Amino acid sequence: MKLVIAEKPSVARSIAEVLRADQSEDGCLTGNGYIVSWCIGHLVGLCESDVYDEKYKKWRYEHLPILPHPWQHKVLPNTKGQYQILKKLLLSDKVEEVICATDAGREGELIFRLVYEQAGCRKPIKRLWISSMENSAIADGFRNLKDGSEYDNLYASALCRSKADWLVGINGTRLFTVLYNHKLPVGRVQTPTLAMLVERECQISNFIKEPYYMVHIQQNNLDAVSERFTNRADAEHLQRACQNGQALVRSVEKEKKSSAAPKLYDLTTLQREANRLYGYTAQQTLDYAQALYEKKLITYPRTDSRFLTEDMEQTAREIIKEVKECVPFAREIQYAPDIRKVMDNQKVTDHHAIVPTMQLGSADLKGLPATEQKLLCLIAHKLLAATAAKMEYETTKIIIGCCDAEFEATGKVISEPGYSAIEKQFKQSLRVQQEEKKERILPVLQQGQVLQGVQSMVSEHFTSPPKHYTEDSLLSAMERAGNEDMGEEVERKGLGTPATRAAIIEKLIAAGLAERKNKSILPTPDGGKLITILPETVKSAKLTAEWEMQLTEIAKGNQEPEVFMQEIERMVAELVSTYHEVGEEAGKQFEKEKQVLGNCPRCGAGVIEIKSGYVCEGGRDCGFGLWKKNRFFQTAKKELTPEIVKGLLTNQKVKVSGLYSAKSGKRYTAYLSLEDTGEFVNFKVDFPKKRK
């Protein structure tokens, strides 16, 4: 029998349907010579550091750097049951061949191979590599299975990515956490991303707004403007000179231009546009796209290509026909699609661009969640727009002279809307607010014409700071990071991959290093401090982009994995040896301001909260403290909270409910006060008096 391993249960069911493996068993489906089972994401991961040595349980500078040799993996506890099912199947005498059917990309390859290796399987591997979950695509994929060895380099790249993230994350986080006595998460990709956020906020906060002025001369529909003036008096002088005067039309330049239709979506451009139009986060867009993919309505979403392969012309033509019949906004659109312009084999890597599938015609689109409907329409509209005609327009540029100064007026007239008509109709159908720039219609003027009695005015403007990053602009910045330092021949640039950028943003927010405010993504104060103290090595977008490029070269077989890992280990070792101590004041910058809960009953100093309890700031000379794990509160099954401590210190007595009596097995309410022996602090219990 042949064992097929998918990445998720839903994908496994779709594959089993095509293979006619319709008998349900524990953790798998069987039939027709196949066993179809699944992972649940990652089932195997890298071991924690203390597996290599017990001493790593404690975070100490002298234990760094941690450089595992050899590397070890472990079965993840939350999904151990499914791993055991797969291991049993992989080692079963019934199974002669294993087919890897996880997602056709770097992470999908890693998910499968780690399970295969951890189970100790040595059976031959075939690879299913598809870009659509349609039945026809699955069937075609099984007719054209690849030999598993063709993807050994892809696995090596994925393994290097995993190990590099571990090395930079574990060593960087421990190093700076120990030095600054505060949990400071460091990541190979997330730290350079945070650095971009912090740099942008610095530019905004340091920006000094400066005024500038422009002089206008006007007549009928004409409004021509001068160059900028930094001095208002100079602008007003020109304005007075031009008022009611003569102006000469020095030149009238007309030029026919065109704007090419947009490209199809890769994941990053889809995430950016969904954020701009709908406010979806990058992670939400990825989740909705993955759901549509698993429902067989769009092709594989984790792609970095914006083109189709040259054998897809007829398929694309049929999909466009389905879109025009099934998607409401598209039914009235009449155009002749040019499929050839979106086809380029040289620009398709692992997967082609994201497009709808032929399943549109048979699917209940109205039954989809509204979020998925919107995303599907967005992808459908892009296929139509990308295959539509270019937009043609004519620009007019008029130069007018007056009082030895030049004034310029520009206009634009669209002659053939082409793809822009489709985009406009799509946005109108979804009631998306559009910032539609109204083009000025200029009067008909001739070179050499004299304008009599022109009016003039001065307008005041201000220079603008850079804008806060939104999810849209941050994804774009991550994609372009390091590009200026790399040649055009480099295939993959930037921070992370289209599939991982959303997770990086979410990690920064979860770690408290960044936050969402309205549509903006801003660094938190801790995020700003972290970037201030980190060296360029770990926050350099250029270096991280170079690593991503090298990982791509490993996947293509053009670079040795060992060379890449040696470079990462060397960088980590240098980081630890260079940063071994910080000054006393610098080490305190992450300390939170301590809240005083009340005055110490022994010495009158403030009582503050620490990790283990509430202590007097007077230190050892006083010795007063209330410990969170004290016998009374543990027996009473109640937490000693700051509010209770505050009541004890300020009012000498506090009413506490929900105390547990081991004797009666019931909860009770009592007044607590402190009894201080000078050596020990005990709690005195008084019960509320019952009303007669």
Distance in angstroms (rounded) separating the CA atoms of residues 366 and 498: 29
Tokens found for residue 634: 């543990």
Q: Is 300 a catalytic residue?
A: yes
Find residue 252's DSSP bridge partners.
398
Distance in angstroms (rounded) separating the CA atoms of residues 194 and 530: 9
Nearest to 562 by CA among 187, 163, 166: 163
Relative to beta strand 391-402, strand 405-416 is antiparallel
- By CB atoms closer than 10 A (0-12, 13-18, 19+), residue 301 is buried
Give the per-residue SS3 of 134-178: CHHHHHHHHHCCEEHHHHHHHHHHHHHHHHHHHHHHHHHHHHHHH
Q: What is the DSSP string of 302-368?
A: S-----B-TT-HHHHHHHHHHHHHHSGGGTT------GGGGB-GGG--SS--B-B-GGGGGS-GGGS
What is the Cβ-side half-sphere exposure of residue 267, based on CA atoms within 13 angstroms?
27
Q: What is the DSSP string of 420-468?
A: HHHHHHHHHHTT-----PPPPPPP---TTPEEEEEEEEEEEEE--PPPP
Nearest to 505 by CA among 478, 538, 530: 478
CB 487 within 8 A of CB 503: no
What is the Cβ-side half-sphere exposure of residue 451, based on CA atoms within 13 angstroms?
30
Catalytic residue among 116, 180, 300, 469: 300
Neighbouring CB atoms inside 10 A of 222's CB total 22
Please name the amino acid found at residue 630: N
Q: What is the DSSP string of 30-89?
A: EETTEEEEE--S-SEEEPPGGGT-GGGGS--GGG-----SS--EEE-GGGHHHHHHHHHH
Which residues are designated catalytic? 300
